[in-house]
Amino acid sequence: MDADQSETIPLEDANVRIPEADSNSVDLVEGNSDGGDSMTEGSGDLLGRLGLDLAFSSEKLANLNVLMMHVATKENELEAYQAEKEDALADFEDKALEYDLLSGIFDSEVRELEDFIAALQVDIVNAHEIVSASYDLDMKEKLHYYEELLKQSQEQVLEMKTQSAEFQRTLLRFGGDNGGHIKDADDVENGQSFNEEKINMQTVAQQRSILRMLEKSLARELDLEKKLTESRKIEEELKLRLHSSDHEVFCLEQEEEHIVEKLFEADNAAEVLLGISKELIGWLQVLQFNLNSLNQRELDLKSKLQDTLEQLEARESALQALENSKVELNELFLSQSNQLKATSKEAEDKLALTESEAFTLREKVSTLEKQLKDAELELLNAKATVGSVQEHHNVNREQMEKVVVDLNDKIMQAEFGVEVAETKCKSLMEANAELNKELALLKSSGITIEKVTLLEKQLRESDIQLQHAVATAEASQEKQGMLYAMISDMECLIEDLKAKVAKAESHANIVEQKCIMLSEANAELNEELSFQKARMATLEASLHQAENTKLATAKDIGIRTKVITSLVMQLAFERERLQKELEKTFKDKSLEHIEAKPSNSKSTLEDVRTIDAGQLNCKHLFVTILIVLVSIVVAYIFQHDSCPF
């Protein structure tokens, strides 16, 4: 008995220590919930609370390991007792009851620790969301270290759950063997009376029925715990989904704002393009005005050329003498060359101006093409973003419908679990009533105090189990109410999302209309650009033709000036030669006149003068006719080249 008492001392100590741990765990869980409400105070405080909670869980795991070892030693003692079969029945019952209590306490502590670790996991997920927004690497490393510790503690809790399940199985096995030991003890006690044997048989049958009921209640409790864990996991998943849906809605709103900004930018770009097109139209009008002025100048030049030709004809008609014709021709050629040089310089200046204007027009056309390409790319991007937004809204709608269907299924499961828990509560209450009746009968029959205390303990345990079952039923009802509230919230959220989807679709339609308007404006601008390009090409071709004609006329003028100068030189040489010949003939005639007779001097002199005058008149007429013919031919050629039509 002393040994038994010394062995029961750690049980009392464990019973005293473990409720304290339970109270601490409850306080820490409440503190954890309060910390979850005040998570916005700072990520540092949150990590500090997580560190304290993990330290508490590690300490509790160490205490549970000690308790598990103690329960294992009790299990070994029971197995040794079952193998030897030498002790009394009362000692076996005491040890079995002690083992039952220790295993039950161990199981309840493991479950509480599992719930506490699940709450810690939720806090770590929330801490992830807070720390991810910051850029502190130390906090992220601490959070990663806490996650590893949590995983290790979860593995240890799973091992303890398996060990507690083994303890429950051994308890059921020892409960089945206990009946055999009682029967053997009843067979050995031949000296007791028949009434005592009958009472003992009744107690054994009652104990067996109680053990069976306890086994059933344990199995039901395990099922309820599994369902509770599943419902908690489902709640966590729903919370995560709600958070993700809120995040997606926020992203969609940002995308809508970005699309609206792009649309405003597209409107501004369209207005800018319209202004640029108006400027281009103004430049084109200026170019047309310049071209008209150039045409007018060309007509003026042609009229001037005609006037000069008329003047040349008038001057050519006035050329009757060699000297006057020579001077007039020189003056005419010099004036024409100067005028042609001036006109060529003016034409070159105008060509340079037209080339600079054409270059500026080309640059503006290239900038317009780039802006049109950018506008088309923006339109394509806007259309793609609108299509992606619509697809994303459709996917979100399908996901929310699936979530509602899953919630309805889970509500049905929870209602079924509540019904099962209510039936279990009713059965346990009936069993308690039967046990109370049996206790009253046993007290009236005068059974030993130890058996009465054992039965009272069993009644207390059954009451505790009833309270646990009622609490679980109430919790399941509360969870059912929470699920209904969540479903209503989800429906409201779905309606809000549908309204947002409708707004987005209307906005998308408006965007499409604006895109159509922009595409039409772009098409018009493209047509205007093509027309302007064609006009620029024609202008460039006309400019090239004008340049080529001017170069050809300049070459012809140079060639003709060279020809005219050569003709003038030839005329000068001919004039000198004729003067020399005239001087020679005059000298010869004078010598002949001196050598002639004086009687015939008068007649000879008159003859010489008449001959000389006749010769001079014929030569002069021939030379003047040649000069007039050359000038007429040159004037005709020049007039034909200047006015080909």
At 532-581, the pLDDT tens digits run 788 778 888 888 888 888 888 878 887 887 888 788 788 888 888 888 88
Range of the domain at 93: 1-191
Q: Which residue has the higher pLDDT, 24 or 377?
A: 377
Residues in the chain: 645
pLDDT band at 479 (very low <50, low <70, confident <90, very high): confident
41: DSSP letter: G
Closest CA to 71 of 173, 165, 177: 165
C-alpha torsion sign, points 516, 522, 528, 533: negative
Domain assignment present for 638: no
- Give just the sign of the alpha carbon dihedral 28, 30, 35, 36: positive
Q: What is the pLDDT of residue 31?
A: 42
First-to-last alpha carbon distance for the chain, in angstroms, is: 146
Q: What is the mean pLDDT of residues 213-224?
A: 75
Find, among 291, 552, 311, 341, the residue nearest to 303 by Cα.
311
Average pLDDT, the chain: 70
Locate 54 and state its tokens. 């993990």
Q: How confident is the model at residue 181 (pLDDT cuts 50, 70, 90)?
A: very low
pLDDT on residue 187: 42
For residue 606, pLDDT over 50 is answered with no
Task: Say what the pLDDT of residue 180 is.
Answer: 42
In a domain, residue 303? The reply is: no
How do residues 410-455 score in pLDDT, each as one tens digit? 667 666 766 776 676 677 677 667 766 766 665 565 555 666 667 6
Contact between 516 and 605 under an 8 Å Cβ cutoff? The reply is no
Whole-structure pTM value: 0.27
If residue 211 lies in a helix (H) or strand (E), which one and from where to where? helix 194-318
* Better-predicted residue by pLDDT, 113 or 484: 113
If one counts the domains in the chain, the total is 1
Question: Tokens 């027309």 map to which residue?
Answer: 531
Q: Is residue 1 part of a domain?
A: yes
354: exposed, middle or buried (Cβ count in 10 Å: 0-12, 13-18, 19+): buried
DSSP secondary structure letter of residue 39: G
Rounded Cα distance between 478 and 238, Å, is 17
Q: Which residue has the higher pLDDT, 527 or 209?
A: 527
pLDDT greater at residue 299 or residue 85: 299
Q: Could you tell me if residue 112 is inside a domain?
A: yes
At which residue do the structure tokens 């006057």 appear?
Answer: 324
For 273, other C-beta atoms within 10 Å of its C-beta total 19
In-domain check, residue 183: yes
- Count Cβ atoms below 10 Å from residue 76 Cβ, excluding itself: 10
Place of tokens 């020189």: 330
Q: Is residue 613 part of a domain?
A: no
Q: What is the mean pLDDT of residues 166-186?
A: 60
Region for residue 446 given its phi and psi (left: phi exceeds 0; alpha: psi -120 to 50; beta: otherwise): left
- DSSP for 514-575 reads HHHHHHHHHHHHHHHHHHHHHHHHHHHHHHHHHHHHHHHHHHHHHHHHHHHHHHHHHHHHHH
Residue 131, in any domain of the structure: yes
- Residue 276: the pLDDT is 81
| Residue 40 maps to a domain | yes
